[in-house]
Amino acid sequence: MKIAKNIQKIAKKVLQNEADSVKKLIDYIDEDFENCVREIFVSKGRVVITGIGKSAIIANKIVATLNSTGTPALFMHAADAIHGDLGMIQKDDIVICISKSGNTPEIKVLVPLLKRTGSRLVALVSNMDSYLAQQADFVLNATIGEEACPNNLAPTTSTTAHLAIGDALAVCLLELRDFSSDDFAKFHPGGSLGKQLYLKVDDIFKHNEVPIVHENTSLKEVIIVISSKRLGSAAVVDDQHHLLGIITDGDLRRAMEKDADFKALSARAIMSTGPKTVNKGDFAVKALNIMQQNSISQVVVLDDQNKVAGFVHLHDLLREGII
């Protein structure tokens, strides 16, 4: 079967349609949007988001985003609401109803019931003249020109617009709450993202060997330390255990190639100065960033007194699942 359609052209047209529509939403951010955000921020209740069909799917995503950024939220399917799920709405909750037309039969049945609960009603809608928009306390305007579907039927651009407004709502609330990366980590403890947000260097370096040599250590002893500790390097310290430099396998090879009498050299003579370091209280992801930026496989860990405490290796980060 020969496909005569220009697939790339169709895809680009869809993305252009949706991009243009999302960009136009900027002009629809008004006082109603601001007042809605402030109402949610000061509310003692939760955000209940409802919809039907594709709007229900978008509602679920917005609920997930709100929950993960500090705003308690839950989903209520519009069809199930009239069969008992209205009972989940509490006195201080704020209900967001998502609908493109705002005039579907389910919405017209649901809206009066929602208003009877006493909760504030927010319409996230693409038709500002709709029944839903007229009945709502706040209206979030997600008007679009047309769907990306060539028949202007399948919810495509409209659902993208609703999703974008939901993201704007969530981020505004996040900013008002001064929601930090530490707060984010509390809600995302699993997976590599979670570990990047909470795992500290102190949690992972202690099991490693600690190859340390004094600045006056002989080259022979340096080789023994590096070989026995199996990290391919050694930190060079002074009498107070402060870091002076680092000796790697590469430094050893260069010393042997450069100096015929290399056996008489001390650690200070062959070390590289300015080694990359992290403090033991730093997040492990900082160690990863340093390694990636400098194309190295390990960094020296310093304690609270700025003394050498150990090493973090790239393998440690791989083992912990940060990468």
- Residues making up the binding site for Zn(2+): 77
Closest by CA position to 196, among listed 182, 178, 175: 182
- State which H helix or E strand residue 248 sits in: strand 243-248
Three-state SS at 221: helix
Binding-site annotation, residues? 77
> What's the token pair of residue 125?
């809608």
Q: Is the torsion defined by CA of 75, 79, 83, 86 positive or negative?
A: positive
Largest CA distance in the chain: 92
Alpha helices in the chain (DSSP H): 7-24, 31-42, 54-68, 78-81, 105-116, 131-135, 157-176, 181-187, 191-198, 219-229, 249-258, 267-270, 284-294, 314-320
Q: CB burial class (10 A; 0-12, 13-18, 19+) of residue 157?
A: buried
Task: Put the strands of the sheet holding 138-141 in their side by side order.
Answer: 73-77, 47-51, 94-99, 120-125, 138-141
Fill in the DSSP letter of residue 142: -
Return d(Cα 14, Cα 4) in angstroms, integer: 18
